[in-house]
Chains A and B, each alone.
Chain A
Amino acid sequence: MQKWMSSALPTPKLSRRRFLAATSLGTAGLLVGCSDRAEQSATTETTASSDVIATDLNAFVRIGTDDKVTVIVKHLDKGQGVTTGLPTIVAEELDADWSQMATEFAPADVKRYANLLFGVQGTGGSTAMANSWDQLRTAAAAARDLLVRAAAAEWGVPASEIIVASGLVSHAGSGKSSGFGALVAAAAELEPIEKPTLKDPADFSLIGTRQFRLDSAAKTDGSAQFTIDIVRPGMRYAAIAHPPKFGAIAASFDDTAARAMPGVVDVVEVPRGIAVLADSFWTAKQARDALNIEWDESNAETRGSDALLADFKALAKADGAPRARDDGDVETAFANASQVVEQTFELPYLAHATMEPMDCVVELAEDRCDIWTGSQIQTLDQGAAAQITGLPMASIHIHTQFAGGSFGRRAVPDSDFVAEAVTIAKATGGAYPVKLIWTREDDMAAGRYRPMGYHTTRAAIDEAGQPIAWQHRVVTHSFMVGTPFESSSIKDGIDSSAVEGAAQVPYAIDNVRIELQLARVGIPVLWWRSVGHTHNGWVAEVMIDQLAHLAGEDPVAYRMELLKDHPRHRGVLQLVAEKANWGQPVEEGVFRGVAVHESFSSYVAQIADIRIENGMPKVERVVAAVDCGVAINPDVIKAQVEGGIGMGLGAFLREAVHLDDGVVREQNFHMYRPLRINEMPEIDVHIVASGEAPTGIGEPGLPPIAPAVTNAIFAATGKLITRLPLGDQLREA
């Protein structure tokens, strides 16, 4: 059965690096909108259940004879709302009615569906809107032009006299009108224009107003399909035993008991552990738990959290840290300072802990491999599957599914759980479709955490209270080393993802030094919602607040003065201060903290109102202001900021992954405890009116909450929290 798998296949295997280089596209070579229509193998499809014929007018816009407009969504929707935001852009330029809009996830196809900022098909860095804005406007405007010309030809009227509004194409002079569906067949026969005229933003009617989420209906009646819900004919379920310590491997195993369990189909060894296949996931899990495995831990990471922190602290004292930024003369400035504040900051590993654990369905045949998963970087997952199976890239078909959360977790440079599922399918000879599901314990202990960090900082003011020196040394570890992203993200020892939000500290300070020491740790880490900003934003915004305190200045006024050259920072800070009535008296017992931070080219300021109750901060209300350029769908933007605040607050209060001699301590939600509803503050989000190109919003709402609350706690208690999570620190004081 496995014979064909081992036979030589004609396709050359590309190393991942070569593969990236081969697929990476410069902007000049990018295919936009309609221009690649000819490359598509099929432009029409008939749905099985009716006589509706749907026609692709280009790579992104499909219109049915029933007038339904399906937007082909090249990005993963993991909750951030791209299946609403991207159709909003299309509906606007197409002059469609919102009620006729639908979505479908794009196949894995880097030629048509690359993220224009990555060069590969993938979602992350809050780039979905930024990279799709021009592309989808152009695609939709081109599709609209095709419909208009088709109508003009059919009605024998000048195209210039035709108007399109709310999904209706009409000509006043002749009284003719039509929906899109009746025109699409003729439209598809016309040659699309390369550069259609885009709308004047002043004429936007959908963009900037609330459109209902297109995924709300399916996600509120149980019908929305996630990877875990996929069923394929003859499918078997896989559960896998991973080594308890990172870097360990199976030395030997005894599967007698597992194989004896009714329903168990196979037990296979793969590079990442021992997988059990069964006719139900429950059986697979029970049998997995019955495996007797001897682990070889000779190359495992065996340090615990305390030992790692000690090593990080030693590294912070080492000389020769690479500098991400070195303005002016920091040493002289400190020597001449009026007052200096020094602080160290500690941050733990954080788990993404998506509600849907990692899962993947693989169907492997001789000539193709189908993968169903919430793929966040389709091109890399496709490449990994091609390498494992020996099939050409074009034979790896990824069916992107709604992801039950990701926060970065499903974008894994080595494809992690996707590769694991494909190796299991390969090890079973492709005999049946395989659905791999990780239990929560598997998910918690399998790594890819937000890296632990230790920061040392020093900042100084002069006699007038103005900051004159700022030094920030980051000690953490990199998730870029050894990945396809290494060459683009690490230069001269500086991993940009580790210093982002620190190196760009926006305040007008003449002498600034930002340094990075990268530790070598065998704990696999990854981007976690807002990435480096999760730690650097906290440290920077706590430190500037400390300087304001030292100078005896109001924290908002102090920042405003130092942000003279940063109008968008100022804009959100001013708006949040107005909306929160900053400077006005607050209720007795309420204390306030503020923070402003830019991440992923979006700007967010927050003011947190807290009370201290039983030694814990109760965050009662957060007012936020955001500038993410043109607000495509304001309600989705607000939702993302609300969610970012909730997630960031949970991390601040309680979340941490600890290691005991290399073994993850927090195995499930009773120990790793994200925010719950009783801790969620009232949130009031305001959006800065902007004509700038849209930027991301999935991540930027998160970084300001931890410093805003830290600063509020300092205002309330005089205690500066410099170690996360907060836990019981206020009670201990």
Chain B
Amino acid sequence: MKYEFKVNGESREVDVPGDKPLLWVVREDLGLTGSKFGCGIAQCGACTMHLDGQPVRSCSLPISAVAGKSITTVEGVSSPEAMAIREAWRDLDVVQCGYCQSGQMMSATALLEKNAKPTDEDIDRAMAGNLCRCATYHRIRAAIHSAAEKLEA
């Protein structure tokens, strides 16, 4: 089946089975490998992308549900919030192994796009779906606060 959708602002067409998850389409058919496979059941968040601006777990989203929609991945995310998140991630050296961090940053960006000044509780709620086995959570929290402060200034 052919499916057309936007990825990072560009129209793309793929010819794949309708049940193929968005994650694998983006990684294998479009060659964008920044979004990661972690669990396949929307439990870890490593595959987080934005679908029409909302964070989604692309490992569990069949491509048939994405047709006609707009997807943003870590490679293309470029809102002021995304830039602030990336800068804060680098300033605080949040990453360790780094594998989950694309998903973490996509969730964090979506949070700041909705909520300019999140509390710790807001962060917990928005980020609890993203596992980090290196447990960089301490710095993720600090980086989100730092990005929010910079955006406010």
Contacts and interface: CB of A to CB of B under 8 A. Distances in A.
Interface of A: 77-81, 212-213, 215-226, 228-229, 231, 280-283, 353-357, 402-407, 437, 439-441, 635-636, 639-640, 642-647, 649-650, 668-670, 674-678, 680-683
Interface residues of B, number: 56
Given A355-B36, A642-B136, A217 B24 contact: no
Contacts of B46: 355
B93 A680 contact: no
Nearest to A226: B99
Interface string B95-110: 1111111100100000
Given A357-B37, A440-B39, A670-B41, A404 B98 contact: yes
Contact of A228 (B33, B94, B131): B33
A669 B125 CA distance: 18
A677 B124 contact: yes
B20 interface: yes
B41 A668 contact: yes
A669 B96 contact: no
B41 A405 contact: no
A303 to B, nearest CB: 28
B1 to A, nearest CB: 12
Given A220-B101, A677-B127, 15 more contacts: A216-B93, A218-B98, A228-B36, A280-B29, A354-B133, A403-B97, A404-B100, A405-B133, A440-B41, A639-B136, A639-B139, A642-B139, A675-B137, A677-B141, A678-B124
Interface in B4-63: 16-17, 20-21, 24, 27-29, 31-41, 43-44, 46
Contacts of A353: 133
A216 B33 CA distance: 17
Interface of A is mostly: loop
B95 A216 contact: yes
Given A282-B21, A355-B44, A356-B36, A220 B89 contact: yes
A216 B105 CA distance: 13
B136 A643 contact: yes
B148 interface: no
Contact of A645 (B33, B96, B135, B141): B135
A79 B99 CA distance: 9
Nearest to B38: A355
Interface in B127-152: 127-128, 130-141
A439 B124 contact: no
Given A402-B98, A647-B135, A677-B127, A439 B40 contact: yes
A282 B37 CA distance: 11
Contacts of B32: 222
B89 to A, nearest CB: 5
Contact of A675 (B28, B33, B105, B135): B135
10 contacts: A213-B93, A215-B98, A216-B93, A220-B94, A222-B102, A228-B36, A440-B40, A646-B138, A670-B41, A682-B138
Contact of A647 (B39, B102, B134): B134
Given A280-B28, A668-B41, A669-B43, A223 B90 contact: no
Given A222-B102, A228-B33, A404-B98, A355 B132 contact: yes
B74 interface: yes
A356 B34 CA distance: 13
Given A220-B105, A642-B135, A647-B134, A355 B99 contact: yes
Contacts of B86: 220-221
A231 B38 CA distance: 18
Nearest to A669: B43
A405 B28 CA distance: 22
A222 B141 contact: no
A77 B99 CA distance: 12
B96 A404 contact: no
B137 A212 contact: no
Contact of A229 (B33, B93, B128, B133): B33
A221 B33 contact: no
B95 A219 contact: yes
Given A222-B33, A639-B96, A212 B134 contact: no
A666 to B, nearest CB: 12
Interface of B: 16-17, 20-21, 24, 27-29, 31-41, 43-44, 46, 73-75, 86, 89-90, 93-102, 105, 123-125, 127-128, 130-141
Contacts of A403: 97
Nearest to B102: A222
A222 B99 contact: no
Contacts of B133: 353-355, 405, 407, 647, 674
A222 B96 contact: no
B119 to A, nearest CB: 12
Nearest to B46: A355
A427 B18 CA distance: 31
A223 B98 CA distance: 11
Nearest to A649: B135
Q: Which of B38, B74, B96 has the most CB of A within 10 A?
A: B96
B97 A355 contact: yes
Nearest to A355: B99
Contacts of B138: 642, 646, 680-683
A644 to B, nearest CB: 8
A669 B44 CA distance: 7
B137 A646 contact: yes
A216 B95 CA distance: 6
A593 to B, nearest CB: 19
Given A222-B102, A405-B133, A677 B128 contact: yes
B130 A677 contact: yes
B135 A646 contact: yes
Nearest to B32: A222
A680 B40 contact: no
A80 B96 contact: yes
A280 B24 contact: yes
A220 B127 CA distance: 17
Give the top 8 A-B pairs by smallest Cβ distance, nearest first: A222-B34, A646-B135, A404-B99, A79-B97, A219-B98, A79-B96, A680-B137, A678-B124
A79 B39 contact: no
Contacts of B141: 677, 680
A214 B60 CA distance: 33
A643 B74 contact: no
Contacts of B43: 668-670
Contacts of A682: 138
A678 B38 CA distance: 20
Nearest to A439: B40
Contacts of B101: 219-220
A217 B41 contact: no
Contacts of B102: 222
B57 to A, nearest CB: 12
B26 to A, nearest CB: 11
Contacts of A212: 90, 93
A221 B135 contact: no
A626 to B, nearest CB: 15
Contact of A668 (B34, B39, B132): B39
Contact of B75 (A221, A280, A355, A635): A221
B64 to A, nearest CB: 13
Contacts of B35: 222
A164 B46 CA distance: 44
Contacts of A218: 98
Contacts of B140: 677
Contacts of B24: 280-282
Contacts of A77: 97
B97 A405 contact: yes
B107 to A, nearest CB: 10
Contacts of A356: 36, 38, 97, 99
A222 B73 contact: yes
A440 B101 CA distance: 18
Contacts of A79: 95-98, 134
B85 to A, nearest CB: 9
Contacts of B27: 229
